[in-house]
Amino acid sequence: MSILAINGGSAYQIEAVEGRHAGFFDAAIRPEEIARTALAAFDCVIVLCRTPAWRMEPVADRLLAYLDRGGTMVAMGECHSERWLPGISFEPCETNFWWWLTPGADLGTQVVKPQHALFSHIGENDIRWHLHGSFDAPEGAEVLATNKEGRAILYVDEVTTRGRMIVTSLDPFFHHGHHFMPATTRFLDGFLPWLQEDIKRKAAA
């Protein structure tokens, strides 16, 4: 079981792959290195939050080939994955960073599949900090969490390609790497162990 992290080299991304969560990644590369990397050697490729889409677009064909060989790809928030992965329909929203200062305010995010194994690792409050947008998940995809309008903010797509895409608009690596928003650290503390376990389960199936 092996996980490759793709990142743009920003300080918060380096914190992710060399800091608290370093043990979950077997290698880390920049988007420009994808063309000369054997992606098939990895069970999962995860693109960290806010990796620029313009750096991913030139290697979109390589990513699709990886998926069509049955690979798992995780696209984190603010990467504009709709520009370099197939079948993604993203709708940005105005981000309210301070909603929680209003008494009684509710961001509206909710777990819609609490029985999913991921949610034995994280709770509903661990997906709740703010939102940058949502997705129109393709028919047949497994939606795990939604915004207040019921649109997906985290889903698993095993229908668009022969592989699996885990897509989210949440940006936990960004905030964890900047050392604020404890919910984002809790999210990663649960999400990455689940991802590791899930890849092992998939490989053994």
Q: Where are the domains of the chain?
A: 3-204
Residues 6+ away with beta carbon under 8 Å from 184: 129, 171, 172, 173, 174, 175, 176
Q: Which residue has the tokens 């034995």?
A: 120
Report how far apart, in Å, the C-alpha atoms of 185 and of each of 62, 153, 181, 190 are: 31, 18, 7, 9
pLDDT over 90 at 106, yes or no: no
Q: Which fold has domain 3-204?
A: Rossmann fold (3.40.50)
- Tokens 């690596």 appear where? 173
pLDDT of residue 29: 97
| pTM score above 0.75 | yes
Per-residue model confidence as pLDDT tens digits over 114-161:
999 999 999 999 999 889 999 999 999 999 999 999 999 999 999 999
